Structure 1
Amino acid sequence: MTDTTWRPDLTQFPGPKYLALTRALREAIRAGELPPGSQLPTVRDLAWDLHVTPGTVSRAYQLATQEGLLAATVGRGTFVAARAPRLGPTQALFQERDLSSEPWLVDFRSPQLPDVGQGAAFSAAMQRISADLGHSWDDYPTQRGEAPLRAAMVDWLSDRRLGGVTADDIMLTHGGQNALLLVFLCCLRGDRPVILTEDLAYPGIRHAAKLTRADVVGVEIDREGMVPEALEAACQRHGAQILVLTPEAQNPTASRMGAERRARIAEIARRYDLQVVEDDCYSIAESDLPSLRSFVPERTWYVASLSKSISPALRFGYVVCPVGMGEAGRLTAQHGFFALARPVSDLVLDLVRSGAAAELRRAVQAEFSSRLQILVSGLQRFDVRWQPGLPFAWVPLPSGWRGSTFARTAEAEGVLVRQADEYALIHGRAPHALRIAIAGAIPLNRYQTAVETLARLLEKPPSDMAV
């Protein structure tokens, strides 16, 4: 049985539209209005009919899928799930959208790295590697075999104030998301452990938490990041095991935590015996502030990757483990995938040792900085929050705009943006704001025109806005 004409009335459900739609789905399924096997409207069709953004519908579908109410099949659509329980993940980490059929759209949803010669650098490195393969590629990779790359990453991190770091402290991973999951697997215990994070946070945190059967609780943030008093209250209430936060480059608000607050957060983590995940994946500029790991080296897992500074295609990340915990981290990685594939580890080692990685990082940051200045200048009349070198900015919306309304209007004008709702936790609330990512891969004239479009829309909130 299929039903592609379901059109709920969201006015009876208070709160954010995505939560209202999730409740409408839940009640329709439980009331039998949408029996098992019913096909739901496509994201775009339902968004059009309800006058919300596709992101709002997508998020509601994702939440209902997490609850086991829906099942999505690539190429077929989204259906009401059978009553049998689902095992494993029930939704994609992110929703892909093929823009090849919509070439007029400029995508400001996720940072796009500029082409600064990555292909040529990778090709040259591969030629050097291929000249000396030997027998080491004939067997499984090992954690011991990664020792030279771990030593190289210690040098790579010399521009960070991490406290004492040795090669024994490093765990290598398949990107930042994999690093989060490995740390959770290494540290969490019990049936329903609790993870604390910022109340606006990278969605991958809750996905990794779900895989480890953990609950995620949001902690209040302000313009300097996580609020220490709110963190302490959450510790007293929830008995959490892990704290995840981004003090250097908060995603999505672009805030940066000062040294004094970092010290206070570290002291609370020590007092309540929290393991700390310090996510630094987005910061590619040199930092002059001490990291959380430098304050509490015995409990901080510093997570980063090359995805935002060189290329996400490498799927290469790393963790600076707490002092004395490097072996435990590497054993967790070994249980997951033995060690990194030799083509990846050898390529990254060559790029770092040759200096090519550092050159690429400098060129990427220069282009990001240039385009960020264009964005900030174009939106200078508004409260744009940013940091030099970051590949995104945070824009609180002027009075009269709602996040969903603005995103829908911007898409109609050819520009895709992310609203704050996409970073809120499941039971959290989000301000009316946007995260605008730097599109480094499109021609500069298209980029400038898209910024001008956003400025024009921000200046003219709708006079008769649907709430």
Structure 2
Amino acid sequence: MGTIWQPDQIDGPGPKYKAVVTMIRNGISNGALSAGEKLPPVRELAWKLGVTPGTVARAYTMLTESGTLQAEVGRGTFVALPPTTPDRNSPIEMDVIAHHVHQGTKNYPADTYAVNMFSPHLPSAGQATLIRNLMAEVAQDPASGVMHYPSRTGARPAREAVVKWLAGTPLGSFTEADVILSHGGQNGLSLVFQSILQGRRPAIAIEELSYPGFRRAGELLRADVIPVAMDKDGVIPEALDEVARSHDLQIFCTSPEVHNPTAGFTPVARREALVKVARKHDFQIVEDDCYRMRVERAPAYRMLAPERGWYVSSLAKTLTPALRIGFAIGPRQRTPDLRRVAEYNCFGLATPLIDLCAKLLVHPDIDTIAEGTRQGFNAYVQSAVNILGGYDVAWRTNVPFLWLSLPVGWRAGAFCQAAEGQGVQIRSAEEFVCRDARAPHAVRLAINAGVALHSFEDAIMRLRHLLDSPPEQLSV
């Protein structure tokens, strides 16, 4: 339905956003607003009522969280439809019904002024409904029981489900016996590092701009973490060779398919050159593939160098980060080492989580949901790129973040602070370099598809205004 309801003013004591909330609830109760009716856009209603857009956005958010309203990507905010009971025999419904709220977290995009772009927030493509339904099934009949320790045999269906999920990924030969389940990708990295590192002063090489989790996992194991120079294709082989000659290098950790934070890609020729360096100095290659959204462009290091290639990924960027389901696959001859480390660390994933994983990754709707997530991210990426226009932005389809090189007049720290003042939280380049390294004047913008598209676009527009108006002076 179109927008029919057009109020002119609000009355009553107290904060204005509460008055807007009361006005909308009264409109619903007296029939002026009917179920499914579209409300005016935030800015339009704010102008009519003589209040700020933030006031209306806050009221919309409160009503959305309570289930009174619902928001849909690219369409707007609507009066919520009556709750319905999902039919488990029907196709997975899209999560746009406002009563699907749990623990204060919305499973659908909503109007908001403040937008967090620290980490990607997945769009709703039906995964929340599916997970809830499968959790109910597991609760009714848990295959692994609820009174036993996790076991290798009991986790086999989940490992087999991971194999199906990874079908088509160019990893080389592997079976369910090679899959080690982990509590998310970061835990998978830690397990791999513990399986490899030895000696008094082991070293880990990372890209000079890289995911901070590499550095943190290495430091926890008291390893020296060495940044390696890179260009647009990734780490420079000669630079990696130099590091290997001057340190007890045991691991090269990299994200070749989707480089975090620059959105770069390492072509096959460069990967092969880096493998030659690894074989020359006999160190392992650990590939973090958590950001690849099931669209591959080149073989993984485990395929290129099966004797030293390790692979880590998770469901966090394709389905949900909430479950903390990850997996690691090492060289075939090192699988016992990796399995032993995982079992000694925590005995395995909780049995209900194992049972859920086994059902989730083989469900007939899972590929459609993953594709919906990918397309949802791409819609937000395209909008951001269109708004940022001629600025130096590195981006790719199927990658849920952008890398913005700042224009003259802006430094990363100052820009992040100014952006936060405008209600937008982003990450500075300083977070992706080692502590004593120099960072470029750049920021990473993670896609937040947990808010309505127009709210996200409004946040990007505020960043654009900051880019257009750099401070006149920079402190020295």
Using structure 1 for the length normalisation, give the TM-score.
0.76
Q: Is the 8 A contact 1:163 1:294 kept in 2?
A: yes
Distance 2:216 2:470 in 1: 34
Distance 2:390 2:163 in 1: 42
Structure 2 match to 1:140: 149
Whether 1:336 aligns to 2:319 is no
Distance 1:144 1:191 in 2: 36
SS of residue matched to 1:353: coil
Count of paired positions: 368
Structure 1 match to 2:469: 460
> Could you say if the C-alpha distance between residues 357 and 191 of structure 1 is closer, same or farther in structure 2, counting changes exceeding 3 Å?
farther
SS of residue matched to 1:333: helix
Aligned-residue identity in percent: 39
Q: Is the 8 A contact 1:160 1:288 kept in 2?
A: no
Whether 1:381 aligns to 2:390 is yes
Structure 2 match to 1:312: 321
Structure with the higher helix share, 1 or 2: 1
Distance 2:123 2:306 in 1: 35
Q: Is the 8 A contact 2:144 2:351 kept in 1?
A: no
Q: Is the 8 A contact 2:203 2:226 kept in 1?
A: yes
- For 1:211-290, list aligned pairs within 5 A: 211-290=220-299
Distance 2:257 2:131 in 1: 29
Distance 1:280 1:174 in 2: 15
CA drift of 1:355 comes to 2.8
Structure 2 match to 1:174: 183
Whether 1:443 aligns to 2:449 is no
CA drift of 1:380 comes to 2.4
Distance 2:437 2:468 in 1: 28
CA drift of 1:135 comes to 6.7
Structure 2 match to 1:196: 205
CA drift of 1:99 comes to 12
Q: Is the 8 A contact 2:301 2:310 kept in 1?
A: no
CA drift of 1:203 comes to 1.3
Distance 1:153 1:118 in 2: 17
> Could you say if the C-alpha distance between residues 356 and 192 of structure 1 is closer, same or farther in structure 2, counting changes exceeding 3 Å?
farther
CA drift of 1:228 comes to 1.1
> Which has the larger Rg?
2
Structure 2 match to 1:402: 411
Q: Is the 8 A contact 2:160 2:358 kept in 1?
A: no
CA drift of 1:447 comes to 0.5
Deviations 1:173-197 (A, max 9, x none): 0001101111111110012211100
CA drift of 1:131 comes to 4.0
SS of residue matched to 1:281: coil
Structure 2 match to 1:112: 121
Q: Is the 8 A contact 1:200 1:252 kept in 2?
A: yes
Amino acid at match of 2:418: T
Deviations 1:34-86 (A, max 9, x none): xxxxxxxxxxxxxxxxxxxxxxxxxxxxxxxxxxxxxxxxxxxxxxxxxxxxx
SS of residue matched to 1:390: coil
Amino acid at match of 1:394: W
Amino acid at match of 2:340: L
Deviations 1:362-407 (A, max 9, x none): 1111110110111111112012111211110111111121111111
2:358 to 327, 333, 349: 349
Query: RMSD across aligned C-alpha pairs, in angstroms?
Result: 1.8
Amino acid at match of 1:323: R
Whether 1:299 aligns to 2:321 is no
SS of residue matched to 1:123: helix
Structure 2 match to 1:45: none
Amino acid at match of 1:459: D
Distance 1:387 1:341 in 2: 36
Q: Is the 8 A contact 1:168 1:327 kept in 2?
A: no
- For 1:53-72, list aligned pairs within 5 A: none
Whether 1:390 aligns to 2:382 is no
Q: Which runs of 5+ in 1 are unaligned?
A: 1-97
CA drift of 1:460 comes to 2.3
Distance 1:404 1:456 in 2: 17
Structure 2 match to 1:72: none
Runs of 4+ in 1 over 4 A off after TM superposition: none
Distance 1:225 1:153 in 2: 28
Distance 1:135 1:179 in 2: 23
Q: Which runs of 5+ in 2 are unaligned?
A: 1-103, 107-111
Deviations 1:95-139 (A, max 9, x none): xxx999xx7421111111122222210122123333433674321
CA drift of 1:164 comes to 1.3
1:186 to 192, 195, 199: 195
> Could you say if the C-alpha distance between residues 369 and 224 of structure 1 is closer, same or farther in structure 2, counting changes exceeding 3 Å?
same
